[in-house]
Chain A
Amino acid sequence: MNPHHFDIDTLTFTAKEIRGDILRMLEKAGSGHPGGSLGMADIFTALYFNILNHSPEDPLWSERDRVVLSNGHICPVLYATLARSGYFDLEELKTLRVLGSRLQGHPSRLDLPGIETSAASLGQGLSISVGMALAARLDKEKHKIFALLSDGELQEGSSWEAANAAAKWQLDNLIAVVDRNNIQIDGNTEDIFPLEPLRDKFEAFNWIVLEINGNDMEQILQVFESAIKMKGQPVCIIAHTTPGKGVSFMENKYEWHGIAPSRIEMMEGLAELRLEEVAYERN
């Protein structure tokens, strides 16, 4: 079961705190990816503080639900969520991207508890999730596999090999979440390398497709609750999110895909989030 089981108001507040963590981590690190990290804060919060069966004290608990973060570059949101959930001390968030840190620039499974797979090179997480779903079925285990994907990484052909595989084996213990934020490094996805009609594509691959506003906590909880119950096919949740969500000058700007905020920008962001305007101290 979920160790927190927060209600909507607490989830919303927690997501805001996680956004604050993300800004502070990235400002201190001086590099990293704020756009997708901020955009996915609500979904990460919903998963770890309400939906997932997991155990921060026992990260390798065999019955845990698996979260496979495929687009590893948004790891600040994963690290902040894991820390707030109790996997490690919040203090450690200050070490993002620092020499010797367990919080590598992209997730490293062997370094940090709670990381299901090392990830960074795109288009790999869905295939790994398919393998995990096959293993769970073979062992008659009930846990679910949540594959968190970016929209941009669906430009990798290997993503669609995995989509085919999930449908071949009718993996109804696999739920993919596509962060449909419409941005990638060089611009907007539809200008760079169009993905639409995305829903039709997944449906043509024999997936059940659900669409939500990925920044609406009520919709997030509802979609996961129904996705978990679906049978016979893998489920793809297309989560329409706002990249940079919560910090107005970052929202929907592809330029914020992969640059860290300055001290002033971070302070402005924290003020908008109505969080304490305090930076992580420098060593």
Chain B
Amino acid sequence: MKGIRAEMKLAPNLFKNPELKATRAGFGSAMTALGESDENVVALCADLSGSLKLGDFISKWPDRFFQSGVAEQNMVNMAVGLALSGKIPFATSFGVFMPMRTLDQIRISVCYNNANVKLAASHTGITVGPDGATHQVLEDIAVMRVLPKMKVIVPADAVETEKATISAAKIDGPVYLRFGRQNAPVYTTKDTPFEIGKINKLRDGKDVAIVACGVMVYISLLAAEELSKNGIEASVLNCHTIKPIDSEALIKAAKECGAVVTAEEHQKSGGLGSAVAEVLVESESVPMEIIGIEDRFGESGESDELMEKYGLTSTNIVKAVKNVLKRK
């Protein structure tokens, strides 16, 4: 495993049939852990508690779960009322419904109040698959990260999701957590560091820095392996926190590598790539490519088919790296 940084404590079977699990599964186990450790943690869900893996929390603490029905706007503001009363509410749904339907509530009541509300959205991105475009939220990172006081976290795998959820409960103020529906490799371990706002550099390489979030982090590692065979060494940065973004690590990577490629399961505009570009144009302008969805809606299909059709594979990353290196 050339270049993989030992201090990241990634799973030894990183590239050999890693366990597959949806990131949302890590959310369910984190909620159970939080339920045990802090009686102020409460959960709300808009008729999707199974999908959000809240079953265990609900059976253990039925009084601390508020089934909110198909009424997301009310759910978010109930969470605000709970937060303003000292609770740590996790409001949960699919990303297409929350945050997308509830932007006004999130802007005025969550953020302007600086209410201690955690928004946990599952079934985000194109990997939602057969449900099609209506259910594939590709704009949420952009919309959430422009809101003052909001923090935005996109965990890379189920283990990191668990850490992100627990960390979110421990800080004061609004946090948006983004999860996926589809099984994905689990390759971070309980010993992998996690701190909100701190990039994890998973792989060392001097030629290019690949900055990714969510499912694209693993795909970036695969791309780095492929590039290495062609004599190109890539750093891979897991930028799980889109906001506040780790400017220091990004600038350092840009200086060291002189070229950057970003990858996200989200529209190209406004997401991780934009956030990285905003940092770099002001301090360390280097050639950059952004991999994401090209200003269009998704469609029905299997996750891997969609990832391929919409340009989110390791092959796309390899190609982007080769392009960016020409501009170096």
Measured CB to CB, the residues of A under 8 A from B are 68, 108-110, 116-121, 123-124, 127-136, 138-139, 157-158, 161-162, 164-165, 168
Q: Which residue of B lies closest to A158 (CB)?
A: B73
Which chain B residue has the least Cβ–Cβ distance from A128? B81
Q: Say yes or no: A165 contacts B68, CB within 8 Å.
A: yes
Q: CA of A116 to CA of B83 in the docked complex: distance in angstroms?
A: 12
Contact A135–B81 (Cβ < 8 Å): yes
CA of A201 to CA of B89, assembled, Å: 30
In the complex, the chain B residue whose C-beta lies closest to that of A68 is: B81
Collect the chain B residues with CB atoms within 8 Å of residue A117's CB.
Answer: 80-81, 84, 109, 113
| Contact indicator A124/B108 (Cβ below 8 Å) | yes
6 smallest A-B Cβ distances: which pairs?
A: A131-B81, A127-B77, A135-B85, A161-B74, A131-B78, A161-B71
- A127 & B73 in contact (Cβ 8 Å cutoff): yes
B81 & A127 in contact (Cβ 8 Å cutoff) = yes
30 sample A-B contacts, Cβ–Cβ < 8 Å, listed by A number: A68-B81, A117-B80, A117-B81, A118-B108, A118-B109, A118-B112, A118-B113, A119-B108, A121-B104, A123-B73, A127-B78, A127-B80, A127-B81, A127-B105, A128-B84, A128-B109, A129-B81, A130-B77, A130-B78, A130-B81, A131-B80, A131-B82, A131-B83, A131-B84, A132-B84, A134-B66, A134-B78, A134-B82, A139-B86, A164-B69
Q: A118-B113, A128-B84, A131-B81 are in contact. List 17 more A-B contacts (CB 8 A).
A: A109-B84, A110-B113, A117-B84, A118-B108, A119-B108, A119-B109, A123-B73, A124-B105, A124-B108, A127-B78, A128-B81, A131-B79, A135-B86, A158-B74, A158-B105, A165-B71, A165-B78
Known: A121-B108, A128-B109. A133 touches B81 (CB 8 A): yes
Q: How far is the CA of A280 from the CA of B73 in the complex (A)?
A: 41
Inter-chain contact B114/A110, CB cutoff 8 Å: yes
Task: Give the distance to chain B from A154, nearest Cβ to Cβ, in Å.
Answer: 14
User: A-facing mask of B99-119, CB < 8 A → 1, else 0?
Assistant: 000001101110011100000
Do A108 and B74 have beta carbons less than 8 Å apart?
Answer: no
Residues of B within 8 A of A116 (CB): 84
Q: Which residues of B contact A133 (CB under 8 A)?
A: 81
Query: Any chain A CB within 8 A of the CB of B251?
Result: no
A20 to B81, CA, bound (A): 33
Residues of chain A within 8 A (CB-CB) of B282 are none
A176 to nearest B CB, angstroms?
13
Query: Which residues of the partner chain B approach A136 to less than 8 Å between Cβ atoms?
Result: 85
Determine if B64 is an interface residue (Cβ-Cβ < 8 Å). Answer: yes
Among residues of A, the one whose C-beta sits closest to the C-beta of B111 is A118
Q: Which residue of B is nearest A136, CB measured?
A: B85
Whether A138 lies near B109 (C-beta < 8 A) is no
The reply to whether B109 and A124 form a contact with Cβ atoms under 8 Å apart is yes
Give min CB distance, B10 to chain A, whole Å: 40
* Docked complex Cα distance between A171 and B77 (Å): 16
Q: Decide: A124 near B71, CB < 8 A? Known: A118-B108, A135-B87, A138-B42.
A: no
Please report B residues at the A interface, Cβ cutoff 8 Å.
42, 63-64, 66, 68-69, 71, 73-74, 76-87, 89, 104-105, 107-109, 112-114
Q: Among the listed B68, B69, B71, B87, which residue makes an inter-chain contact with A138, where contact means beta carbons less than 8 Å apart?
A: B87
A12 to chain B, nearest CB (A): 33
Closest Cβ neighbor of A168 among chain B residues: B69
The chain A residue with its CB closest to the CB of B64 is: A138
- Give the residue name and chain of the B residue nearest to A125 (CB): B77
Chain A, residue nearest B89 (CB):
A131
Closest residue of chain A to B63 (Cβ to Cβ) is A138
Bound: A133/B68 CA distance, A: 15
Q: Within 8 Å CB of A161, what residues of B?
A: 71, 73-74
Q: Is the CB of A132 within 8 A of B108?
A: no
A68 to B78: give the CA distance in the assembly, Å: 13
Which residue of chain B is the closest to A132 with respect to CB atoms? B81
B105 to chain A, nearest CB (A): 6
Nearest CB in chain A: distance from B44 CB, A: 9
User: What are the residues of chain B within 8 A of A119 when measuring CB–CB?
Assistant: 108-109
B66: which A residues are within 8 A, CB to CB? Answer: 134
Chain A residues whose CB sits within 8 angstroms of the CB of B68 once the complex forms: 165
Interface centre among B82, B85, B109 (most CB of A within 10 A): B85
Which chain B positions have C-beta within 8 A of A120?
A: 108
Contact A128 to B80, CB < 8 A, known contacts A134-B66, A138-B64, A164-B71 = yes
Provide the bound-state CA to CA distance between A91 and B84, in Å: 29
Per the bound structure, the CA–CA distance linking A124 and B105 in Å amounts to 7
By a CB distance below 8 angstroms, the chain B residues around A109 are 84, 112-113
Q: Output the least CB separation between A271 and chain B (Å).
A: 38
Chain A residues, Cβ within 8 Å of B107: 121
CA distance A120 to B107 in the complex (A): 11
Q: What distance in Å separates the Cβ of A109 from its nearest Cβ neighbour in chain B?
A: 5
Cα distance, A136 to B42, chains bound together (Å): 13
A77 to chain B, nearest CB (A): 20
Nearest Cβ in chain A — how far from B298, in angstroms?
28
B108: nearest residue on chain A (CB-CB)? A121
Least CB distance, A131 to chain B, in whole angstroms:
2
- Contacting residues, chain B, for A164 (C-beta < 8 A): 69, 71, 74
Alpha-carbon distance A131/B105, docked complex (angstroms): 13
Residue of B nearest to A135 (CB): B85
Min CB distance A105 to B, Å, is 13
Q: How far is the CA of A232 from the CA of B112 in the complex (A)?
A: 33
A132 touches B82 (CB 8 A): yes
Q: How far is the CB of B235 from chain A (nearest CB, A)?
A: 40
Most buried by B among A121, A129, A139, A161: A161
Most buried by B among A68, A124, A128: A128
